[in-house]
Structure 1
Amino acid sequence: MTGSENTALRADAIRVLDAWRAPDPEQDRLRRDFLRHLDVHPDGMWRRCAAGHLTASTLVLDAAAARVLLTLHRKIGAWLQLGGHCEPGDATLADAALREAAEESGIAGLRLARPRPVQLDRHAVRCHPQGSWHLDVQYVAVAPPDARHRISEESADLRWFPLDALPDSVDEVVRRLVARARALSL
């Protein structure tokens, strides 16, 4: 199956973004931008879309919701939540987010804290020679109590950090995502 044939994933993305209640005006602007992108670009779910493409990521909390698992991304050199590109086998954005988190952490049994996204982010990437955009739909998941992680080939490091002691180099997008995760009653 090619990416353009997975209309169910695209339909899910539209449904999720249509229904999502953004926590503030800036997030609502991004939500509308993501929907416009999907309206203009039938292939807007897929990496091949040079104008940009939706991605799905997950901030993983430990079972006590006291620590967050971050990856030191090998290519970017920054501490980030887990996530990446949608694939044709993903039925939903939430499935893509959990798949990416499980692949990059090695943790089985992750569960979403909420079935809907927590925030959106748009950032420049180098998926195409002329540059491109990731339109990232961000979720929060909780690891099982006995979770053991392993470093994937995409990571230079993978570590648990207390929610109130993130590395100094963590950017504002991740800090806001952590703050939103803390506000969830799990």
Structure 2
Amino acid sequence: MRSPADPHAAAVDLLSDWIAPDPGQEVLRREFVDFLAGHADGVWRSCSPAHLTAGALIVDPERDRVLLLLHAKARLWLPAGGHCEPGDGSLAATALREAVEESGISDLVLHGDGTPLKLDRHPAPCRPGVADEHFDVQFLALAPPDAVPALSDESHDLAWFGYDELPTPTADDVHHLVAAARGRLAADGEPNGPGAAGRAGSPV
């Protein structure tokens, strides 16, 4: 595998090796890989008409709840996420950094050693008229029990929500993302406890 110091190369490696969970996700995986092959700057915000982003659904598995943020630009309840920055080195590092910054929870860990949970393509709110789409790589982040989030200037609000009590308005994909997170945790047989969160995750 190539050096993770190059986020573009690391993204290519990650998505080339990732085993998609269903045919729809496999179509997206190939689209993401093809996009990166044609755009050497595809992981950076400056890339037009699209670029990769990374995010993380923050889950408290002990209390069966997720942390969502009321995004200041999109005005939707969304998971944490954003653009790659110099020094991130990988999409997993971007996702974890954004999750920590936007949630105020410093000891989050990525589940599955930074394996993507889901891919999504959606309109890009960051540069209207310049960048049309985000190719978003979504991860699963585990919060420790009793984690207390803190609002950042990226959002108007943030709150915990039960798996079946998601707020409105939110993007349709959030429901699919929560379902994917629940499926992965259930498939891993992860008990609802702090020890499991610590063992299953990686600080990346």
Distance 1:52 1:159, change over 3 A: same
Give matches, 1:126-165, under 5 Å: 126-128=125-127, 129-165=129-165
- Percent of matched pairs sharing the same residue: 49
Please report the TM-score for the alignment, with normalisation by the length of structure 1: 0.92
1:75 Cα deviation from its structure 2 partner: 1.0
Q: Which runs of 4+ in 1 moved over 4 A?
A: none
**Alpha-carbon distance between aligned partners in 2 of 1:65 and 1:16, rounded to the nearest angstrom:** 31
> Do the aligned partners of 1:67 and 1:160 also contact (CA within 8 Å) in 2?
yes
> Do the aligned partners of 2:77 and 2:168 also contact (CA within 8 Å) in 1?
no
1:29 Cα deviation from its structure 2 partner: 0.8
> Are positions 1:184 and 2:188 aligned together?
no
Corresponding residue number in structure 2 for 1:3: none
Q: Find the partner of 1:99 among 85, 90, 97.
A: 97
Give the number of equivalent residue pairs.
Answer: 181
Corresponding residue number in structure 1 for 2:57: 59
Please report the TM-score for the alignment, with normalisation by the length of structure 2: 0.84
> Do the aligned partners of 1:108 and 1:147 also contact (CA within 8 Å) in 2?
no
**Alpha-carbon distance between aligned partners in 2 of 1:158 and 1:61, rounded to the nearest angstrom:** 13
One-letter amino acid of the counterpart of residue 142, structure 2: V
**Alpha-carbon distance between aligned partners in 2 of 1:126 and 1:167, rounded to the nearest angstrom:** 20
Distance 1:99 1:82, change over 3 A: same
1:147 Cα deviation from its structure 2 partner: 1.3
**Alpha-carbon distance between aligned partners in 1 of 2:54 and 2:103, rounded to the nearest angstrom:** 15
**Alpha-carbon distance between aligned partners in 2 of 1:69 and 1:105, rounded to the nearest angstrom:** 8
1:20 Cα deviation from its structure 2 partner: 0.8
1:65 Cα deviation from its structure 2 partner: 5.3
Corresponding residue number in structure 1 for 2:121: 122
**Alpha-carbon distance between aligned partners in 2 of 1:133 and 1:47, rounded to the nearest angstrom:** 11
1:9 Cα deviation from its structure 2 partner: 0.9
Structure 1's unaligned 5+ residue stretches are 1-5
Corresponding residue number in structure 2 for 1:47: 45
Corresponding residue number in structure 2 for 1:23: 21
Higher mean C-alpha deviation, range 58-67 or range 100-109: 58-67
Higher mean C-alpha deviation, range 165-174 or range 39-48: 165-174
Equivalent position SS for 1:157: strand
1:174 Cα deviation from its structure 2 partner: 0.5
**Alpha-carbon distance between aligned partners in 2 of 1:45 and 1:130, rounded to the nearest angstrom:** 15
> Do the aligned partners of 1:9 and 1:92 also contact (CA within 8 Å) in 2?
yes
Corresponding residue number in structure 1 for 2:6: 8
Q: Find the partner of 1:86 among 79, 84, 87.
A: 84
1:42 Cα deviation from its structure 2 partner: 0.5
- Cα RMSD of the aligned pairs, angstroms, is 1.5
Higher mean C-alpha deviation, range 162-171 or range 9-18: 162-171
**Alpha-carbon distance between aligned partners in 2 of 1:100 and 1:50, rounded to the nearest angstrom:** 22
Equivalent position SS for 2:6: helix
**Alpha-carbon distance between aligned partners in 2 of 1:173 and 1:179, rounded to the nearest angstrom:** 10
Equivalent position SS for 1:147: coil
1:116-174 CA deviation, whole Å, 9 max, x = no partner? 00100011114333342111000001111131111110100000000111114222211
